[in-house]
Structure formats: C-alpha cells, structure tokens
Amino acid sequence: MEILSRVKELMSININSLFQKSEDPETIIDDYMRKLNSDLGKVKAETASVVAAEQRAKRALDECTAEIAKLQRYAEKSAADGNEAGARAFLEKKAVHSEKLQQLQTAYDMATSNASQMKQLQDKLVSDIGELEARRAALKGKLAAAQAQERVNASSSIHGDQASAFDAMEDKVNRAYDEAMALAELRGGKKDDLDELIEQLKKEKN
C-alpha cells in the first residue's frame, strides 16, 4: 500500500538535518507534524477499510459454515426418511461448500492478518505522534526561551554601549570641571597675592 511506504519514508526523515538547513526550525517542526497527522488520517481510513474487509470475510465464512451444517442436517434427515437420492444431493452440495469454506477461511485469515497489522501501525503512529507532539512543545519552549535570551542579550548590549558612552561623557565633563576649578583656584590665588602686594605697597608709602 502506498500509504505504508509514505509513512515509512516520513518516519525515517532525519529531523536534525532539516533543522540545520533551516533558519526557522519552528516552521520545520510544524510542517513535519502536519504531514504526519495527515498521513495518520489516511492510515485510519485504510485501517477502517481493511477491518471492514475482515468483517465481510468473517460473515462469508460464518454463512458458509452455517450452510454446510444445514446441508448436513438435510442429508441426515433425507437418509432417515429413506430418501437416498436426496441425501446424496445434499452431501454433494455440502462438498462444494466445504471446498468453498477452505477458500473463505484462507481469505479470512489473510484479512485478519492485514487488519491486525494496520491496527498495530495505526497504534504505533498515534503513539509516535504523541511523543513527537510532546517533543515539539518542548522544542518550541526552548526556542522561545532562546529567542527571549537573544533579545535580552541584545538589549543588554545596547544598554552596555549606552552606559559606556555616558561613562565616557561623564569622565570628559568631570575632567573639564576639574580643569575649570583648578584654573579658578589658580586665578583666585593670583588675585589674593596681588591684593596682598598692593596692601603692602600702600603701607610702605605711608
């Protein structure tokens, strides 16, 4: 069945290699899971079809078995009634149905095997998808955390650059202020010296 080959191919895909080739791993995960769920729907439909075939084969087998039992009863009754020809006719029909029964049994066994395999495949696919859904949720959580951390790191870098710029500006302002104060002190000192000298000269003239 084509769907079985499709599922096998899909399940054998190396997701990690897809991640490495893509800049958007979240989209890769979603697309992969979407395909798996789509194939699961097809597997369920195929399983339902195979199970229906099994049920039809079982009905045909049961009907043939019941017909053989009925013909056996008719043959026995005809023999008991002394109708040997009728008994032989029923036994001949029984022989034909007995051959048919073998064919129906073979068909039913095959249908049962197919139905069992499809049910197992469906159950496994459901289980695998459940595990992958859990892993997808975990991966999405990690991706979200990583993206959030990247934003924090970028913000911290910007803030760090801004802080460095402000630090440099502050240092420059402080240096300018210190130079201005030093110059003011120097000029203030000279003024005091000049005042003292003038006073001294005044005293000497007096």
For the segment 171-206, what is each residue's pLDDT rounded down to a tens digit?
Answer: 766 676 666 666 655 555 444 554 454 455 556 445
46, 3 Cβ separation under 8 angstroms: yes
Question: Which residues neighbour 29 within 8 Å (Cβ) at sequence distance 6 or greater?
Answer: 15, 136, 139, 140
| Between 136 and 46, residue with greater pLDDT | 46
Counts of helices then strands in the chain (DSSP H, E)? 4, 0
What domains are defined for the chain? 2-162 (1.10.287)
Rounded to two decimals, the pTM is 0.59
Q: Which of 37-41, 82-86, 122-126, 201-205 bottoms out in mean pLDDT, i.e. has the lowest?
A: 201-205
